[in-house]
Structure 1
């Protein structure tokens, strides 16, 4: 009989790849989605669907008792919200409620893997240095603070075996965020904010999915930083993309003061329309951060994590997928 894993956020970009990797590892997958979620892209998988109510601990407990999961990979969350409260409600309270339901159920869960973010630690303010396990968390956005709170909530359940994963910027097939940059480059425009030197880190989505499944079996009660192990200048994504797409571009360095003005307008519009803004002043803190270079040696040692993709191979595969699926 196969072991069972509940994957939350299953209909999302990362969720799709988590399902694929779990199935490759002979796990029976229960995909937690909203009833309003689009799931047509998941029809390629032999999975069961479940519709948990993350604000109702008793309902979550009943769900866990019914299906008796061996593992949970909690990837549900938001990257855009209208307030710190909204971020905390979804990224932190949902985590706490799910963990509480596991404990209350008495089910002998083998591992609770939380997909957090490097944003929970935050960037360094100098090009010198590297983000590692000893770096004191100093998130620069409401999103990062909510992710850190979610981690702290999970750690408070001393009887629960968990692993926390802190991936840096995730990209790959089905991503809609970094895709915005790829789309601009395909049109011959290469936009940047300001003109500063940066150290950026990234991880290809299938490498994250591999790490998440490995974490089901190792790295007990620890948090691990994940990237492809390298750092990149702000221009390297653009340079690789231009080569793969065969495009020439015009580089545009937008003045910081202009982008801040746009972000302010977006925030005001967001408050009026009751929709989360794609760009806000805090998001600029992440986009313009000096140093996101991070140490993944603990994940390599403890989880057996060995990323298969660097930026060149990952971007190449991603752009092939976008073109094959008519995104570009």
Structure 2
């Protein structure tokens, strides 16, 4: 079977490529000319350059190919300009889908990697309840809105494209750069927590996301959407406590501040980012993400329909992640 992975040079995409190779797929990694191939060194990988910003170019680049499966993992999670979320996450998805249809790609299935963030801050009254697929999305970030718009386009194309959507919660693991900031801060003896109201957080290890993607390719029902987490709920400080433990418990200062302090920090973070032209993790989208109190989600459909069984709880996943950061001299 021949599989195409978009966003192959990225965090999740590179793990998808590795698993496809492990399973014996004829694996094609879609990259840009400027993409790093640091995690795409296996000589069995076939590379194809795709310009997701142009349907016309995609048609030419895909013509003559015959992919059985496509995993669309390309996208951005932070941008200087909010319109870039829609240009890349939404329009890029539309262009890919339209091009696949135009060239008559004989697809058995396309899996789109979306996000729990499309739902925004819902079910925020305590006791918190799991977000369910029947809930109405109310995205409170440009990122979430761009992913939702991409999902809605796939729904419009349901009669022409056999798609499945996965919606992971916070994905972490080796090679991930945003959660790494927290690990680096803790190693430098500081941790920062915001808000005094209870916060229920969910996580999913990157290898469990990949497991679910391949289960969806094999067993999923066209048009279905699956939440992904490790099946557990954590408190806001659990992640940093586990990182602290894996780093050998260095002395640290944990600063807990009210939400308005986060608002100030992210406001200036975004302003400085615009001045310098450098994307920062501390931006207006991040403010809305960090102030959200309920990240519970219902993964039972993935379990019952796909046979999804998360193999990593947070403790195991953090242990493996910190070891990778250390082995690769990130920490």
Query: TM-score range with shorter-chain normalisation?
Result: over 0.9
Shift of residue 24, structure 1, vs aligned partner: 1.6
Alignment of 1:6-17 (within 5 A): 6-17=4-15
Structure 1 contact 20–45 (Cα < 8 Å) conserved: no
Map of 1:148 onto structure 2: 148
User: Relative to structure 1, is the Cα distance of residues 126 and 215 closer, same or farther in structure 2, using a 3 angstrom cutoff?
Assistant: same
Deviation at 1:81, TM superposition (A): 1.4
Q: Counterpart of 2:205?
A: 204
Question: In the alignment, is residue 85 of structure 1 matched against residue 76 of structure 2?
Answer: no
Give the Cα–Cα distance (whole angstroms) in 2 for the partners of residues 137 and 273 of structure 1. Answer: 34
Give yes or no for the alignment of 1:74 onto 2:59.
Answer: no
Q: Counterpart of 1:209 in 2: which secondary structure?
A: helix
- With normalisation by structure 1, the TM-score equals 0.95
Paired residues of 1:163 and 1:221 also in contact (CA < 8 A): yes
- Which residue, 226, 229, 240 being the options, matches 1:227? 229
Matched, 1:303 2:306: yes
Q: Secondary structure of 1:305's partner?
A: coil
**Total equivalences in the alignment:** 326
- Look up the match of 1:22: 20
5+ residue gaps, structure 2, are none
**1:132-171 matched pairs, under 5 angstroms:** 132-157=132-157, 158-171=159-172
Using structure 2 for the length normalisation, give the TM-score.
0.94
Matches of 1:283 and 1:187, distance apart in 2: 22
Alignment of 1:110-259 (within 5 A): 110-124=108-122, 125-127=124-126, 128-157=128-157, 158-219=159-220, 220-247=222-249, 248-259=251-262
Counterparts of 2:109 and 2:88 in 1: how far apart (Å)? 21
SS in 2 for 1:170: strand
Cα drift, residue 225 of structure 1? 0.5
Which string of whole-angstrom CA distances, capped at 9 and with x for unpartnered residues, describes residues 228-263 of structure 1?
Answer: 011100111122222222214221113433332222
Deviation at 1:270, TM superposition (A): 3.0
Question: 2:49, 2:61 within 8 Å by CA — same for their partners in 1?
Answer: no
Instruction: Give the Cα separation in 2 of the matches to 1:33 and 1:123.
Output: 34
Q: Which residue of 2 aligns with 1:36?
A: 34
Contact 2:4 2:70 in 1 (8 A): yes
327 and 106 in structure 1: CA distance in 2 versus 1, 3 angstrom threshold: same
Question: What secondary structure, in the 3-state scheme, does the structure 2 residue paired with 1:129 have?
Answer: coil
Q: Is the 8 A contact 1:84 1:146 kept in 2?
A: no
**Cα distance between partner residues in 2 of 1:40 and 1:322:** 15
Contact 1:163/1:222 (CA < 8 Å) preserved in 2? yes
Give unmatched runs, 5+ long, in structure 1. Answer: none
Q: Which moved more, 1:223-232 or 1:261-270?
A: 261-270
Aligned residue in 1 for 2:62: 64
Alignment counterpart, residue 313 of structure 1, candidates 307, 312, 316: 316
Q: CA deviation at 1:45?
A: 5.2
Per-residue displacement from partner, 1:51-101 (whole Å, max 9, x unpaired)?
111122232223333221111000000111133321111001110111111
Other structure's SS at 2:167 match: strand
Aligned residue runs from structure 1 range 42-57, under 5 A: 42-44=40-42, 46-57=44-55
